[in-house]
Amino acid sequence: MADIDRVLEAEQVIQDISSKLRRMKNAAELLDNAQTKVEAVIKASNEIITRTGEFVKEGTEIVKRIGDYDIQSDMSHLLEIGNSMLKSTQNIEKQISEFKNFTSSAFESVQQNLSKVEEKSRLIDEK
């Protein structure tokens, strides 16, 4: 009976070892799955870091271009154009006024000359 007890005891030890090996195998599988997930997270994190770096670089370039844009210079240039246009408009108004005066004067002169011609023509007709 001692042998049977030893066999039963050995079988119990084998079952305990088998149970522990199964738990170790399950733990190893969990660790392997965790390792796979960690590697995926690391890969995604690296991608995020790379793209964030690109975003920051492009954003910095945009901010630099905005900072380099000289609004005051453009405003000064537009004001110069506006003032030039105003002067041209005033010059055109002056020329129109001078032309109006010239045409009025010419019209009066033509009327006076026409009146003189009519008067002379009437005097000639009377003789």
Q: Are residues 25 and 80 in the same domain?
A: no
Report the chain (127 residues): mean pLDDT per 10 consecutive residues. 86 92 91 90 90 89 78 82 86 86 86 81 74
Q: What is the pLDDT of residue 42?
A: 92
Q: What is the pLDDT of residue 83?
A: 87
- CA gap 107, 112 in Å, rounded: 9
Q: Annotate 96-109 with DSSP letters as a single string.
A: HHHHHHHHHHHHHH
Q: Are residues 85 and 125 in the same domain?
A: yes
Q: Are residues 58 and 91 in the same domain?
A: no
Tokens in use for 75? 């405003």
Q: What is the pLDDT of residue 127?
A: 65
Q: Are residues 77 and 111 in the same domain?
A: yes
- CA gap 11, 82 in Å, rounded: 104
Q: What is the pLDDT of residue 105?
A: 86
- CA gap 102, 94 in Å, rounded: 12
Q: What is the pLDDT of residue 15?
A: 93
Q: DSSP assignment, residue 70?
A: -
Domain enclosing residue 107, as ranges: 71-127
Q: Are residues 43 and 9 in the same domain?
A: yes
Q: Are residues 82 and 51 in the same domain?
A: no
Q: DSSP assignment, residue 81?
A: H
- CA gap 91, 84 in Å, rounded: 10
